[in-house]
Amino acid sequence: MGNVVRKEPCPKCREMGGDKSGDNLVIYEDESSYCFACGHCVLSEEEKERRGLNNYVYEETTMSEPLTKEQIKEIRDTTGNKGQNSRGITDETFRKYGVRFEYDEESGDVSSHFYPVTTDYEISGFKIREIPKKFRSVGQTGKSCDAFGEWIFKVSNSKTVVIAAGECFKGDTEVMTEKGFIRFDELPKDVKVLQIHENKTGEFVTPLAHVEKEYSGDFIEYDAPKFSLHTTPDHNLVYWNNKGLFVKKKAKEKVSALHFVHLSGKVNGGMETSYVNSLIMSVC
């Protein structure tokens, strides 16, 4: 990224009514940019190449309104429901959950997956994966929406409990516990894990749930001298920016090397504190 060459207004801050002085966004020699106020970051092609990110693209739409019936119909009219055994999932399962597909005009192979997102059991948007590793969304797809597939069980009288597992870490990822570091896939259910609070203190707590599942897909990898993490793309990553502000972003989002991950904190009056910065992100 190099040295700072100029400062410009931050578009994200301006959207929220901030950056009145018009100088929140720092521009570096390679034309990468970073906002120290909101964390907005754009990497240059050179920096993407250095971090190994050129084959992974995620576009976050600013559209927050639900799709109209006409827009939903247009998507259905221009897509199909044959998944061609994509990711080993049957067409019957894809149809049950309303997943749609676009196809390559020349080969006929699946080129994009459209995963429906619902709000109050009505389709409000789609999360889209373009093969191989480009992600985007249309319509309303935020955290206020239903769990994926929840609409199927709207009128169910079944006593079956459906667990919609979210984002995960690899089993060999270690977590700090009251008995030291333990791998997730070896973590006993009665052992407490370290929870860090926004004031940088910590306590050992019992996990709310233990989730173990098969996963086929991309992992985001973060590496630093004292820190290594493999996680699914939408898992939240918690850190503090250079101003000491608590920040939470999804692992797939660009995280500046200027941010800090809190590795430990004050627990029961203790004083141990440790940080790591200079995170390098890659997709594996």
List the one residue out of 136, 145, 143, 148 whose CA is nearest residue 93: 148
Average pLDDT over residues 252-257: 63
List the one residue out of 249, 230, 226, 228 whose CA is nearest residue 168: 230
Ranges 32-36, 192-196, 226-230, 231-235: which has the least confidence: 226-230
pLDDT of residue 166: 60
Average pLDDT over residues 169-198: 81
Average pLDDT over residues 215-224: 68
38 and 114, same domain (yes or no): no
Greater confidence (20 vs 39) lies with 20
In a domain, 128, yes or no: yes
108 and 194, same domain (yes or no): no
Query: Does pLDDT of 277 surpass 50?
Result: no
139 and 230, same domain (yes or no): no
47 and 73, same domain (yes or no): no
Average pLDDT over residues 117-124: 92
Other CB atoms closer than 10 Å to residue 255's CB: what's the count? Answer: 22
State which residues form the domain around 225.
174-283
Query: Does pLDDT of 124 surpass 50?
Result: yes
Ranges 55-69, 177-191, 237-251: which has the least confidence: 55-69
CA angle 111, 104, 72 (to 5 degrees): 65
Average pLDDT over residues 32-57: 69
In a domain, 164, yes or no: no
Ranges 54-58, 249-253, 260-264: which has the least confidence: 54-58
pLDDT of residue 45: 77
In angstroms, the CA 114 to CA 131 distance is 11
How confident is residue 57, by pLDDT bands cut at 50, 70 and 90?
very low
How confident is residue 259, by pLDDT bands cut at 50, 70 and 90?
low
How confident is residue 213, by pLDDT bands cut at 50, 70 and 90?
low
Contact present, 258 and 277 (Cβ < 8 Å): yes
pLDDT of residue 108: 92
* Overall pTM surpassing 0.85 (yes/no): no
Query: Does pLDDT of 184 surpass 90?
Result: no
182 and 276, same domain (yes or no): yes
In a domain, 73, yes or no: yes
pLDDT of residue 117: 92
142 and 187, same domain (yes or no): no
Pairing of strands 266-267, 201-205: parallel
272 and 221, same domain (yes or no): yes
191 and 272, same domain (yes or no): yes
In angstroms, the CA 127 to CA 66 distance is 13
102 and 182, same domain (yes or no): no
277 and 188, same domain (yes or no): yes
Amino acid at 253: E
CATH of the domain at 120: 2.20.25.180
Query: Does pLDDT of 221 surpass 70?
Result: yes
What is the percent of the chain with per-residue pLDDT over 90, rounded to a whole number? 18
In a domain, 178, yes or no: yes
Ranges 39-43, 95-99, 169-173, 274-278: which has the least confidence: 274-278
CATH of the domain at 251: 2.170.16.10
- The winner for highest mean pLDDT among 2-6, 114-118, 243-247 is 114-118
In angstroms, the CA 231 to CA 283 distance is 10
pLDDT of residue 86: 82
- b/e for 137-164, b at 16 or more Cβ within 10 A? bbbbbeeebbebbebeeeeeeeeeeeee
What value does the mean pLDDT of the chain take?
Answer: 75
Question: Considering its fold, how many domains does the chain have in total?
Answer: 3
pLDDT tens-digit profile of 25-39?
889 888 888 887 776
Greater confidence (237 vs 107) lies with 107
